[in-house]
Chain A
Amino acid sequence: MAPLRCLGWVLMPALALALLGLAAAAGPRRTPALELAEELAEELWSAGLPGDLPELEPECRSLLAAFAEGSAALTDCLGRRARPVRLCQGCHGHYRRLLAQYGSIARAVGNSSESHNCAKSILTSDRLQIVVTLSEFFNETWEAANCANCLKNNSEGLSNSTEEFLDLFNKSLTCFEHNLQGQTVYLSPNNHTEVCKNCNETYTKLNDLYNHLQRMNRQGGESGHSAHLCIDVEDAMNITRKLWSRTFNCSVPCSDTVPVIAVSSFILFLPIVFYLSSFLHSKQKKRILILPKRIQSNASLVNIQEKYS
């Protein structure tokens, strides 16, 4: 939520300055600073300087209002669905609408002679360019969540595989709940054999489906870019896995330490045998010395070493 709130703070005075009519829509939190800014804007407005402060055309104003409402709705949706993560499932409609609204601003549907007037005055006429910033923020969040991955190609609704996955996910959650009835999760950490036994099938299916999706995704996507599945699916899987292996302690792998130790010590023992046997049995390589043809090779060196040592 932190970035949203920050944006809100940045956004409010600016909106108030530029278009006082919409200040009310910006949010219920009003601060003295905001009020001050509003008053200032009002003063300026009443001074009536149409050349310096051109009035926003009514079409543009309505576009802007729509955008503001849309972004508020999307923010609300994102915030509410932050945990457990349901962003892509819940907010894709809002997101799509917002995209359309931004698009219509950018495309500048205005009936004035300068047809780009609307886009220009809303998007690029001040330093802050808050509409652009907001839209960028939403786009980035959407990208980071990788929601496109679990939506249909035209982003209307969830894709089939995601639906299937979520079905299975709900099924396993139901299974967990069903089997846990009567006992609390935290009461007996090792006594969940019932759950493990009964839900194993669903869980394995879910896990396999997830792995399958991941593999498909990795093959289809370019390197690096869309290596992630969409955040909803990832989070759902994470929750289930945590429940399964941490809380219920269901995945207990067979640890066969004895054979591993036996095999590894056997292999580690081999080099010792090898080196010992080659040390004992292999004939040591001898070098044949060649006497150099020299006038005095030993004597001179002895001399030198005496001199210098």
Chain B
Amino acid sequence: QLTPSSFLRIGQLSNVDLNEDIHELETEVPRQRPNEIPHNEKLLSLKYESLDYDSSENQLFLEEERRINHAAFRTVEIKRWVICAMIGILTGLVACFIDIVVENLAGLKYRVVKDNIDKFTAKGGLSFSLLLWATLNASVVMVGSVIVAFIEPVAAGSGIPQIKCYLNGVKIPHVVRLKTLVIKVCGVILSVVGGLAVGKEGPMIHSGSVIAAGISQGRSTSLKRDFKIFEYFRRDTEKRDFVSAGAAAGVSAAFGAPVGGVLFSLEEGASFWNQFLTWRIFFASMISTFTLNSVLSVYHGNAWDLSSPGLINFGRFDNEKMGYTIQEIPIFIFMGVVGGILGALFNALNYWLTMFRIRYIHRPCLQVVEAMLVAAVTATVGFVMIYCSRDCQPIQGSSVAYPLQLFCADGEYNSMATAFFNTPEKSVVNLFHDPPGSYNPMTLGMFTLMYFFLACWTYGLTVSAGVFIPSLLIGAAWGRLFGISLSYLTKGSIWADPGKYALMGAAAQLGGIVRMTLSLTVIMMEATGNVTYGFPIMLVLMTAKIVGDYFVEGLYDMHIQLQSVPFLHWEAPVTSHSLTAREVMSTPVTCLRRIERVGTVVDILSDTSSNHNGFPVVESNPDTTQVAGLRGLILRSQLIVLLKHKVFVERANLNLVQRRLKLKDFRDAYPRFPPIQSIHVSQDERECMIDLSEFMNPSPYTVPQEASLPRVFKLFRALGLRHLVVVDNRNEVVGMVTRKDLARYRLGKEGLEELSLAQT
């Protein structure tokens, strides 16, 4: 069952100059595709639009740019630096807030449960402790999940895929709103306190981005406050630069890794960089980690110490035992292989789970119930593991935050409890730094196994939470196990600290799951504070990525695909040279004339079946002998502002004192332009004419029909375009290439494959 309009459009092709055989093919192939299909990975959603990274160079813009003199440009430059400093400070403060609240709430929870367990160990009735723990977890997670599922679903997950898409040029609805930030921060706190196998580091990146997007605009649409500052930056191009600074500041606050943050932005997002931007982003990152550091130092009572640069500190790795020798490098590479395989397994399992969730668990209530169940099961698994473990270790000072005695002798604690009965960050640090012999191999093995499945199950729930820390934790556990068995196998001849292997295992596992390379190496290096680890960590991450990529792709890319986002990779698919612009483009194109009737514009904009955002403007020629050549390109948002301000030719003639529309009017409406339905156009006004020549972009990028797909792709990707007009040799509009037209070609297992568009 096809929509009638699409048939009509195909019928209209006759006015386009085409070859005969294409026509035949078109009519021959009967299109008997099902209208409704279950969700799968080979779809592109119509929900996502592009961002306008190419600024519209219309007359208004040129006039404004001409008015700004040299000194004014310098002010703009200073403003950029000020904004970056503010991004850094605010991101650092948000990170502090999250850290302090999580520490206190989680401390409270663990104390309550510990007291309860201690009480019932003596008297019997530990099942009540289990129930208490599970209920506490489930109820905290319930709150966290409810706010995400019902108020702002885009705050779910780590937010890294979303930010990656945003920097790639895809407009994800609501992704950089203040509301999202609030939900994200509360959601992260609640899910970490709720004891899920999650971390608070990934969401910091999203939080930083939202902060950046908010500050750089100098106003909040959600709060309806406009501070009348930074108006120059109210467009997608400028905002994107600040968002990449925010993402970098987020990484930097999360791991205490300013350089890693900059490289993260570069690796994950950056399509469009220059050196000054890098320097500014680095500044924002540094400010962010410094703010976090100083505030946390004051909070911990040693004000001038500056000892906590990130949300997670891996601790010092600089004593002699932690050094590595050249003989150990093959061992590290082997660990990289293991990490790659385990990471691929993680991703594959998570893929199936996410697919199931998208298909069947799409109602918010079900999502909340699922999150609660996961929380309860996490607590139960932890409890059962602790209950069954007979691995007792003597208490040494206060190295263990919440020592659970349970069935151990007095003065000893259950070593499984240090891993499960703790926030994941602390468990990671314990695995890195506890002296050899603190864990027996059985404990570590069981822990790795259980935590692997829990973390895999947890990622993709409707809670805001990251996957960095769980991956590190899994990796640290098996890495430590590996270190212990290594020294056992070699009869202790390798005097290696298991902590070192725990670190390498953590790097391998994280690399195997997220497949980041450069930035992750630097992040790990900065988090350990040891530059000499750079080389083995790099090797481990490289191996993990190579091995992992052999099986499945990285977790973030996988989730981007499952969300049907039209994501453009660095290059066009390698086998796509035979495709030309003519085959790629959408056609026919809805064009507007340079002087167009208002009624037509309104009708085109209100047509729900073709929700276009850019319209080529052609010469308005009443004379049919002349060809309607391309004159410019106008965006839906611009048209809406024009209609709202009623910039009609007749009105201009009638009323000369009417204010000329300025670029500011367009900026004030950004980024939430009102829908066309909200603009009232009377019957009389429909007959008026509208002159687009002043507002359209007179020099849109065009390609001829014969351009190959890689060429089109390169142009599109490098310039961050949203619309690319395809013209014939008479400068007549033949088609339009948009992001979805390019993103639908993908290199699959059997060569080039094409994704279908779908309404989601």
Contacts and interface: CB of A to CB of B under 8 A. Distances in A.
Contacts of B302: 222-223
B374 to A, nearest CB: 7
Contacts of B356: 275, 279
Interface in B672-723: none
CB-based closest 7 A-B pairs: A254-B124, A259-B127, A245-B409, A241-B410, A287-B758, A241-B411, A286-B36
B18 A295 contact: yes
Contacts of B758: 287-290
A47 interface: no
A248 to B, nearest CB: 11
25 contacts: A207-B410, A237-B411, A245-B410, A253-B122, A255-B407, A260-B130, A260-B384, A263-B130, A268-B381, A279-B360, A282-B360, A282-B363, A284-B38, A285-B38, A287-B37, A288-B36, A294-B587, A295-B735, A296-B25, A298-B29, A299-B29, A300-B579, A304-B752, A309-B750, A309-B751
B300 A287 contact: no
A2 interface: no
A292 interface: yes
Interface stretch (B95-103, B365-373, B546-554): B365-373
Contacts of A307: 578
B33 interface: yes
A242 B124 contact: no
A305 B573 CA distance: 13
Contact of A242 (B362, B366, B411): B411
Contact of B752 (A242, A244, A284, A305): A305
Nearest to A303: B578
Interface stretch (B1-9, B420-428, B439-447): B1-9
B6 A227 contact: no
A43 B579 CA distance: 101
Contacts of B301: 222-223
Nearest to A306: B751
A272 B571 CA distance: 43
Contact of B34 (A255, A270, A289): A289
Interface in B17-39: 18, 22, 25-26, 29, 31, 33-39
B728 interface: no
A282 B361 contact: yes
B134 interface: yes
Interface string A245-260: 1100001011110011
Given A256-B126, A295-B587, 5 more contacts: A246-B409, A254-B121, A288-B759, A293-B10, A307-B578
Contact of B31 (A270, A291, A300): A291
B602 interface: no
Contact of A301 (B22, B373, B387, B752): B752
B126 A293 contact: no
A262 interface: yes
A134 B377 CA distance: 58
Contacts of B363: 282
A301 B709 CA distance: 13
Given A264-B380, A264-B383, A267-B380, A256 B127 contact: yes
Nearest to B9: A293
Please tell me the size bucket of the interface on A.
35 or more
Nearest to B574: A308
B690 to A, nearest CB: 26
A237 B409 CA distance: 13
Interface of B: 2-3, 6, 9-10, 13, 18, 22, 25-26, 29, 31, 33-39, 43, 46, 121-127, 130-131, 134, 300-302, 356, 358-363, 366, 369-370, 373-374, 376-377, 380-381, 383-384, 387, 394, 397-398, 406-407, 409-411, 575-576, 578-579, 582-583, 585-588, 735, 741, 744, 750-754, 756-760
Contacts of A286: 36-39
Contacts, number: 189
Most buried by B among A207, A241, A289, A295: A295
Contacts of B579: 300, 304
A274 interface: yes
B127 A262 contact: yes
Contacts of A141: none
A287 B409 contact: no
Main secondary structure of the interface of A (DSSP, over half): helix
A299 B25 contact: yes
B587 A293 contact: yes
Contacts of A237: 411
B759 A290 contact: yes
A299 B583 CA distance: 10
A260 B126 contact: yes
A86 B10 CA distance: 97
Contacts of B759: 287-290
A268 B37 contact: no
A33 to B, nearest CB: 32
B9 to A, nearest CB: 5
A208 to B, nearest CB: 12
B398 A227 contact: yes
Contacts of A278: 360-361, 366
B750 A254 contact: no
B387 A270 contact: no
A271 interface: yes
Contact of A260 (B127, B586, B587, B750): B127
Contact of B750 (A267, A296, A305): A305
Nearest to A256: B124
Contacts of A284: 38, 359-360
Nearest to A249: B409
Given A238-B411, A290-B757, A304-B578, A285 B359 contact: yes
A297 interface: yes
A227 B752 contact: no
A27 to B, nearest CB: 33
B410 A268 contact: no
Contact of A296 (B22, B130, B373, B376): B22
A278 B373 CA distance: 13
A245 B394 CA distance: 13
A290 B46 contact: yes
A228 interface: yes
A271 B370 CA distance: 8
A304 B376 CA distance: 51
A139 to B, nearest CB: 20
A268 B33 CA distance: 42
B410 A244 contact: yes
Most buried by A among B302, B361, B381: B361
A297 B3 contact: no
Contacts of A251: 409-410
Contacts of A305: 750-752
Contact of A289 (B22, B387, B752, B756): B756
Contacts of A245: 409-411
B564 to A, nearest CB: 8
B583 A293 contact: no
Contact of B37 (A227, A253, A259, A289): A289
A171 interface: no
A218 interface: yes
